[in-house]
Homo-oligomer: A and B are copies of this chain.
Amino acid sequence: MRGQWGNKLQLSLFGESHGEAVGVVIDGLPAGIALDMEAIAFDLARRSPGRDPTATQRREPDAVRVLSGLYRGKTTGAPLCGMINNVGARSQDYEALLTVMRPGHADYTGWVKYKGFNDPRGGGHFSGRLTAPLVFAGAVARQALANKGISVGAHIQSIHTVRDDLLDDAEVSAEALDALRAKRFPLLDPSVEQAMRDEIERARASGDSVGGVVACAAVGVPAGWGEPFFGSVESVLAGLLFSIPAVKGVSFGGGFGLTTKLGSEANDPFLIDGEEIRTTSNHHGGILGGITSGMPITVRVGLKPTPSIASTQRTVDLRTRQPAELNVGGRHDPCIVPRAVPVVESAVLLGLLSLALEVDGR
């Protein structure tokens, strides 16, 4: 619960948007993983703002300092703490929000929960900035999973109403996932890129925002991971994915689309493929009865439009308990979907590494 998660692999997330640092302690990592710090920096850069014209122009140099758990470039098996200093935060942009609650943000709920003691600057601990250490942890997990032959990648399935539905749940490959990761605006169908960028630009121009869907896949996961019921692979991954700010929906394989199919259409027939047992289609998204089937794991994540918008909004001032109008200053992403891609991947990577460690211990 709270900032801590896990069982065999454990995460402890800390920090505030405008505090001294954000970071994460990762416990339970296998010893002896050689960490490629450049690959980690690459994943962090994918999440960083300012990388692409669609994102906010604030720059957050997300350089991670590894404080522990690493010796001569390899994990030691002891807890690994990665810390990212906060620099250049412009708190004054947010001061006006202290008691005038931003709609769609955690200002009100955090204020109630923490009885007014929470750090309100830039969203404090609720800030999307906390996804930076999550991506760091995910990048570490990616290297541990690569040693087991597992690849995870994601692409933008939709921005507002523009869609890229080319992900084939049954045939996705490690190569395709790697290719996506190299792209600034990861799509399987390049023909929709301009339309998606136009949606974002239109939102920015009107001081508004748009959301979208990220589709993520993992290949190379063997059959037999997970648990029936409470420890189902869906439960583990959804628990992590719903930790990401702005996520309001999660589905596996055919997802909600299966609800309009017949059983005879939705069932995936088994077949023998050389030595392996697999299914001809993959409506089950690689998970049956909570347990991996060996087919690609596919998951879709719906992100609401970022609540930070420029237009005047109706709200309440907590101090006066009177209606108020709010005009949020500062620079904001009109669309966080592209930056959310590595965050979604990280949640899946961390969930899978956790499941792996449950099975083979270390």
Kindly list chain B residues whose C-beta atoms are within 8 Å of the C-beta of A260.
158, 160-161, 211
Interface readout for A109-131 with B: 1 if CB under 8 Å, 0 if not?
11011110111000011100010
By the criterion CB–CB under 8 Å, are B258 and A13 in contact? no
Of A27-35, A142-150, A177-185, A190-198, the stretch lying at the interface with chain B is A27-35
Residues A76 and B124 in contact in the complex (CB < 8 Å), given A27-B3, A81-B23: yes
By the criterion CB–CB under 8 Å, are A31 and B117 in contact? yes
CB distance from A279 to the nearest CB of B (A): 7
Of A41-49, A55-63, A64-72, the stretch lying at the interface with chain B is A64-72
**A258 vs B79: C-alpha distance in the bound complex, in angstroms?**
31
Interface readout for A267-304 with B: 1 if CB under 8 Å, 0 if not?
11111100001011001110111111110000000111
Whether A87 sits at the interface, judged by CB under 8 Å, is: no
Residues A261 and B227 in contact in the complex (CB < 8 Å), given A251-B250, A252-B249: no
Whether A263 sits at the interface, judged by CB under 8 Å, is: yes
By the criterion CB–CB under 8 Å, are B76 and A125 in contact? yes
Kindly list chain B residues whose C-beta atoms are within 8 Å of the C-beta of A252.
248-249
CB distance from A312 to the nearest CB of B (A): 10
By the criterion CB–CB under 8 Å, are A262 and B304 in contact? no
CB distance from A8 to the nearest CB of B (A): 7
By the criterion CB–CB under 8 Å, are B1 and A358 in contact? yes
Chain multiplicity (copies)? 4
Kindly list chain B residues whose C-beta atoms are within 8 Å of the C-beta of A251.
248-251, 256, 302
**A280 vs B104: C-alpha distance in the bound complex, in angstroms?**
12
By the criterion CB–CB under 8 Å, are B119 and A71 in contact? yes
Residues A289 and B245 in contact in the complex (CB < 8 Å), given A78-B124, A323-B271: yes
Whether A266 sits at the interface, judged by CB under 8 Å, is: yes
**A130 vs B68: C-alpha distance in the bound complex, in angstroms?**
12
Kindly list chain B residues whose C-beta atoms are within 8 Å of the C-beta of A239.
230, 235-236, 238-239
By the criterion CB–CB under 8 Å, are B306 and A19 in contact? no
CB distance from A111 to the nearest CB of B (A): 9
**A103 vs B211: C-alpha distance in the bound complex, in angstroms?**
35
Within 8 A of B (CB), among A215-258: 223-232, 234-236, 238-240, 242-243, 245, 247-256, 258
By the criterion CB–CB under 8 Å, are B313 and A267 in contact? yes
Kindly list chain B residues whose C-beta atoms are within 8 Å of the C-beta of A80.
14
Kindly list chain B residues whose C-beta atoms are within 8 Å of the C-beta of A283.
304
Please, which residue of chain B has its CB at the minimum distance from the CB of A359?
Answer: B361
Kindly list chain B residues whose C-beta atoms are within 8 Å of the C-beta of A97.
none
Whether A89 sits at the interface, judged by CB under 8 Å, is: no
A65, A238, A304: which has the most chain B beta carbons within 10 Å? A304
Residues A74 and B309 in contact in the complex (CB < 8 Å), given A19-B68, A81-B15, A230-B240: no
Whether A12 sits at the interface, judged by CB under 8 Å, is: yes
**A254 vs B69: C-alpha distance in the bound complex, in angstroms?**
32
- The 3 closest A-B CB pairs, nearest first, are A106-B289, A209-B263, A249-B251
Extra A-B contacts (10), CB below 8 Å, given A14-B67, A110-B291 = A5-B229, A12-B12, A14-B27, A104-B266, A108-B223, A203-B263, A249-B259, A267-B313, A280-B314, A360-B361
